[in-house]
């Protein structure tokens, strides 16, 4: 009697296995990229909130000491100083704006040309707590999104935070 011949099967992958594998990789990549995009938005918005906190602190200091206080912005080093404090922006955010963004956020008619519009890159806070008018624009490393913190021209200063989505400013206070 002759032994039965074994049918040899090619030990490769079937097309279905490859498609399932690629679908799983695509799903994981989509989730990762979405989370990274969300992280970038969150970091830039957090930096904006920290700058607003610096304004609030400096304003209270000006009122308490009855002296003019200054916040100085260094766009080259992406940092700012107020009182005895110095803050560096994170690696994910920069002073700047996305291309073709119009401002100021309250009345966007002109292309933005400066990331900090306070005179001499300094926000002056009077002893009465009034902040000189101006805007600070923040963006991500790729300059795809723009956030703004504004001090309007007013006797009572109310800082406003904005984000720019698809060419439209949205108040995020």
DSSP state of 134: E
- Angle made by CA atoms 51, 52, 53, in degrees to the nearest 5: 90
Q: Whole-angstrom Cα distance, residue 147 to residue 98?
A: 9
Which residue has better confidence, 82 or 20? 82
User: If you average pLDDT over residues 144-164, what whole number do you get?
Assistant: 85
How much of the chain exceeds pLDDT 70, in percent? 86
> Superfamily for 15-171?
minor pseudopilin epsh domain (3.55.40.10)
The sheet carrying 122-125 orders its strands as: 85-88, 79-82, 69-74, 122-125
Verdict on whether the full-model pTM lies above 0.75: yes
Q: Tell whether the model's pLDDT for residue 6 goes beyond 70.
A: no
Question: CB atoms < 10 A from the CB of 112, how many?
Answer: 22
Domain boundaries, the chain: 15-171
The fraction of the chain above a pLDDT of 90, given in percent, is 58
Output 26 or 57, whichever has higher pLDDT: 57
- How far apart are alpha carbons 105 and 41 in whole angstroms? 18
| 92 band by pLDDT with thresholds 50, 70 and 90 | confident
């Amino acid at each position: 009697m002759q032994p039965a011949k074994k049918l040899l099967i090619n030990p490769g992958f079937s097309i279905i296995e490859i498609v399932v594998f690629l679908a799983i990789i695509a799903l994981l990549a989509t989730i990762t990229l979405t989370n990274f995009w969300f992280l970038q938005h969150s970091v830039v918005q957090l930096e904006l909130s920290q700058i607003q906190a610096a304004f609030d602190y400096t304003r209270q200091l000006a009122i308490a000491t009855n002296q003019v206080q200054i916040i100085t912005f260094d766009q080259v080093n992406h940092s700012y100083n107020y009182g005895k404090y110095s803050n560096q922006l994170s690696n994910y955010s920069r002073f700047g704006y996305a291309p073709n963004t119009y401002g100021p956020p309250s009345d966007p008619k002109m292309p933005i040309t400066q990331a900090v519009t306070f005179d001499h890159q300094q926000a002056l806070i009077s002893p009465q707590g009034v902040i000189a008018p101006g805007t600070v624009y923040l963006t991500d490393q790729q300059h795809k999104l723009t956030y703004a913190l504004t001090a309007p021209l007013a006797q009572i200063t109310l800082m406003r935070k904005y984000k720019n989505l698809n060419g439209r400013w949205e108040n995020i206070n």
